[in-house]
């Protein structure tokens, strides 16, 4: 299959460096017109400069592509809306959004200032909400859109000293799960990328001797897969150092307890059955869990009756 994004318009947040830069360059390579968004702040979110974004635009133009830079702070909806409006004024549509912008304020939860917690949530979670909200109406009208959330193993599995970052990165999965349901009939597909790469945000965490293996380019190959017209939907793609895997949430079939059995003692006693994975399933909506529980209860009442 020939991978081609010709005629499509993409917005990449946090695209001045690292993964975002790699994503933007690759999108342009495959024919997309690219909005290179970057506030230009430091790794912790302080400061601002648009030079990094402009440099990526120059690189794209030198390769024969089309791009514009925008310095919107993703945590500010008005600035994000201005970015999307400028994109529509120039190119008339938005087909792809990669929510990549992020910062780190790592500390143990005991030592973490709540302002640092809020700031990380604002950039990662509300930044993703703001950008997605700003393009959502356009994508609904044009009956097409591809949105990529950037999640993390820190959110899905936990990572010492990253309670703020992990909370935000798991939250975007919850956002994805609902937007998939609301966007499906509009031709919008929403997926998540869980990257492992050496960037400004990870350079102090990864030993130098192995950092070269964790190139942004290997992650970008996965990111572009989620931008394609034949992209999956509600998919968590993990990528790094040439490896690709998927993460999913499953729920066990569990047990049913009659009213007189609904005690903590009984739940503890039957925990092995509750944890039995033989009939686990991947639920597509929160309502399916309620439906399962109610079905069990109704069947019990019918038997009793």
Residue 38 and residue 63: Cα distance in Å, rounded? 20
For the beta sheet containing 145-150, the strands, ordered from the edge strand earlier in sequence to the opposite edge, are: 67-70, 33-37, 9-12, 96-98, 145-150, 188-195, 236-240, 243-247
Q: How far apart are the first and last CA of the chain?
A: 59
Tokens of 204: 């102090």
The active-site residue out of 144, 157, 165, 235 is 165
62, 92, 140, 203, 228 from 6: Cα distances, Å:
17, 14, 20, 34, 11
Token pair, residue 123, equals: 């950039």
**Nearest one of 110, 101, 137 to 11, comparing CA atoms:** 101
Residue 165 falls in the annotated catalytic set: yes
Q: Which residues are catalytic?
A: 165
């Amino acid at each position: 299959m020939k991978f081609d994004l010709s005629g499509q318009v993409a917005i990449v947040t946090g695209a001045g460096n690292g993964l975002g830069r790699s994503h933007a360059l690759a999108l342009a390579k495959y024919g997309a017109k690219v909005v290179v968004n970057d506030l230009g702040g430091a790794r912790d979110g302080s400061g601002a400069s648009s030079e990094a974004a402009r440099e990526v635009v120059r690189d794209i133009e030198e390769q024969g592509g089309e791009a514009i830079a925008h310095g919107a702070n993703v945590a500010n909806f008005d600035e994000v809306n201005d970015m999307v409006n400028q994109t529509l004024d120039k190119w008339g549509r938005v087909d792809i959004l990669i929510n990549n912008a992020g910062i780190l304020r790592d500390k143990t939860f005991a030592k973490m200032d709540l302002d640092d917690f809020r700031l990380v949530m604002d950039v990662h979670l509300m930044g993703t909400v703001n950008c997605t909200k700003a393009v959502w109406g356009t994508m609904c009208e044009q009956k097409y859109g591809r949105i990529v959330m950037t999640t993390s193993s820190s959110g899905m599995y936990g990572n010492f000293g990253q309670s703020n970052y992990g909370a935000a990165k798991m939250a975007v999965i919850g956002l994805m799960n609902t937007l998939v349901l609301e966007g499906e009939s509009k031709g919008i597909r929403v997926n998540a990328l869980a990257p492992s790469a050496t960037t400004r945000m990870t350079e102090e965490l990864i030993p130098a001797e192995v950092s070269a293996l964790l190139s942004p380019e290997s992650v970008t190959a996965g990111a572009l897969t989620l931008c394609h017209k034949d992209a999956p939907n509600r998919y968590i793609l993990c990528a790094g150092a040439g490896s690709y895997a998927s993460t999913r949430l499953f729920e066990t079939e569990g047990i049913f307890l009659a009213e007189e059995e609904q005690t903590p003692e009984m739940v503890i006693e039957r925990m092995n059955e509750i944890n039995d994975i033989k009939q686990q399933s991947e639920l597509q909506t929160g309502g399916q869990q309620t439906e399962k529980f109610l079905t069990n209860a109704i069947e019990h009442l019918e038997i009793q009756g």
